[in-house]
Amino acid sequence: MRIAVASQNRRAVTDHTGRCRRFWIYRVDRNTIQGKELLELAKEQSFHETPAHAPHPLDGVEVLICGGMGPGLERRLAMRGTRALVTTDTDPDHAVTAFLAGTLTPGVAHAEHEHSDDSSA
């Protein structure tokens, strides 16, 4: 399994996932973290800038953990088979460990403005 955590500053879980360009990618096997690496995207590859149906570097990630996202991005991720989880947890490593243990503290998704490329998702 691959789990992504939005982390623009590389230290904390990011709130505005649509504009985030840095994601920790965790490789998990049998509920154990096997490793992690930082995925850095060009500005044009942020969800905010990428058309909804275009291929994306996060395609194939099963879970994306973040501090906030709008309903358009949540639908877009679901369309790609990615489960979106909003949390109040701010530490990426702890968030993944908590998710694997079934104890991730849920956050409240915020209503970002809709984008024309997201609304068709």
Dihedral in degrees, nearest 10, Cα atoms 42, 43, 48, 54: -40
CATH number at residue 12: 3.30.420.130
What is the percent of the chain where pLDDT is above 90? 80
In this model, does residue 35 exceed pLDDT 50? Answer: yes
pLDDT in tens, 66-84: 999 999 999 999 999 999 9
The pLDDT score that the predictor gives to residue 67 is 95
Rounded CA separation 67/8 (Å): 11
Q: Print the domain residue range for 46.
A: 2-119
Give the count of domains, the chain: 1
